[in-house]
Structure 1
């Protein structure tokens, strides 16, 4: 009988591990939201300023965040509670005892975009799934057809310089120059859209079994901050900024 009970206990523990809710990092404290500072930061009643990790904002993020969090008790979770240079603590935020992060809620309603800064594989996948569902259903910001930029429309992308954008298109060529690899989406290398990936980022791709040269002629989705002057660029520093798309996949749908 003791053996049976032990076996059942082991199975229960294994089951909980197998179906564990993603993004359940170490608790970093609790508090009540006293104010929404901006589209991705809140201030707790003890004075701490919390920056929502894992997302970038849209035009509707602040309003949605206010509706979700104003006056609510929250739990903070993350892998590092060291404040940034502005004194903000970066964390995933959970309302009360909820297992779903506020970030996932914002993403699921199209009120935010995944930033790719969460490196935990399961958590990153869960956040991306929330965003993908909103894209699929054209919710929130994804209802705007221009929310995802066409890699062939370099002028349209360049108009978003200094902003976080999502771009989709076919990689026409992969070229290396010094310590930098360029994924070119246009035939005019100086004016067309390109993704830049430094040598120090290569191990992340190699660890995932991806060689940059293999992306040539592939359709990808890339996200990041637009830079450049004559031609728009996105500098990829994290593996999660790049997604391989299916050959016939419609815009805005994750395979």
Structure 2
């Protein structure tokens, strides 16, 4: 790409640059300046194209580096099955960790091109991220190789609106890359985020829809009204009536883990009262809708305190 644009640049240079020998005595200074301006604009455009592509490629490499870390050498070649699993020739079955694909019958998302490879030049590698679950599925980072190009399937699915970010193993820069990919799709209302009121995002005051979403992974945003705690549990209360209002819990033993992440932006669990947050997790119904947090990346404080007020 860079070499091609260099050649293009040479052609533009030869065609538009006003060499002194091509400027006749009849050409005005104004004409000379105009031709110089034309060359400058075209040259700037050609220089910008590879830099944008390089930036996109760099983001993909950064995501892979951040999430896969030192486990890249343990990759297993897999094929994507119709049910969303990734199957190796040995029969091992993998699932893409840290994302959740919505049921096909409910999703009107634009699927990514990963797995659609008529020329057979694409390969998928599963990098185990943890032990197999009770169904024998191994959570894994899925790396897509197209020649010399590498992509992280999770980031691609999130960016095209094909999945929702489900923090389970991602942390630090890996979590930031995945959240940013999802945010891009949400901002552009792509894929599952184009579903309007049916998108998996709810206000913490919309109790009816939250209860209707029981068993599903959703995002809920709003203001924490009060905090509570017992020896074993911390409570984030989003209403004054805990028997009916939305509640979020986390284990007291996990509080330090959450504080370690929150403190990067100046927050702690104990000072989140009256703060606007975004919560993600599986909705349960226990004296009103509830989400139990397991991973610090499930809780994000929204800096704009006005967001989410009033539901």
**TM range, normalised to the smaller chain?**
0.7 to 0.9
| Match in the other structure for 2:231 | 178
| Match in the other structure for 1:232 | 289
2: CA distance, partners of 1:230 / 1:90? 33
Larger fraction in strand: 1
The Cα shift of 1:79 comes to 4.3
| Match in the other structure for 1:132 | 183
Contact 2:234–2:250 (CA under 8 A) maintained in structure 1: yes
Q: Pick from 126, 151, 163: which aligns with 1:76?
A: 126
* Number of residue pairs aligned between Structure 1 and Structure 2: 231
2: CA distance, partners of 1:170 / 1:181? 16
Q: Please provide the CA RMSD for this pair.
A: 2.6
2: CA distance, partners of 1:23 / 1:196? 27
Contact 1:31–1:46 (CA under 8 A) maintained in structure 2: no
| Match in the other structure for 1:85 | 134
Moved more, 181-190 or 58-67: 58-67
1: CA distance, partners of 2:291 / 2:236? 10
2: CA distance, partners of 1:102 / 1:62? 19
Largest Rg, 1 or 2: 2
Deviations 1:231-255 (A, max 9, x none): 000001110000111225667xxxx
Larger fraction in helix: 2
Compute the TM-score of the two structures, normalised by the length of structure 1.
Answer: 0.81
Deviations 1:124-168 (A, max 9, x none): 111111001111111111122332101011121011111111101
Q: Where in structure 1 do 4 or more consecutive aligned residues deviate above 6 Å?
A: 61-66
Query: Equivalent residue of 1:187, what SS?
Result: coil
Compute the TM-score of the two structures, normalised by the length of structure 2.
Answer: 0.67
Q: Give structure 1 stretches of 5+ with no counterpart.
A: 1-15
The Cα shift of 1:74 comes to 1.0
> What is the correspondence of 1:12-91 to structure 2 with a 5 Å cutoff?
20=62, 21-25=65-69, 26-27=71-72, 28-33=74-79, 35-36=81-82, 38-39=83-84, 41-60=85-104, 68-69=114-115, 72-80=122-130, 82-91=131-140
2: CA distance, partners of 1:234 / 1:68? 32
Contact 2:111–2:161 (CA under 8 A) maintained in structure 1: no
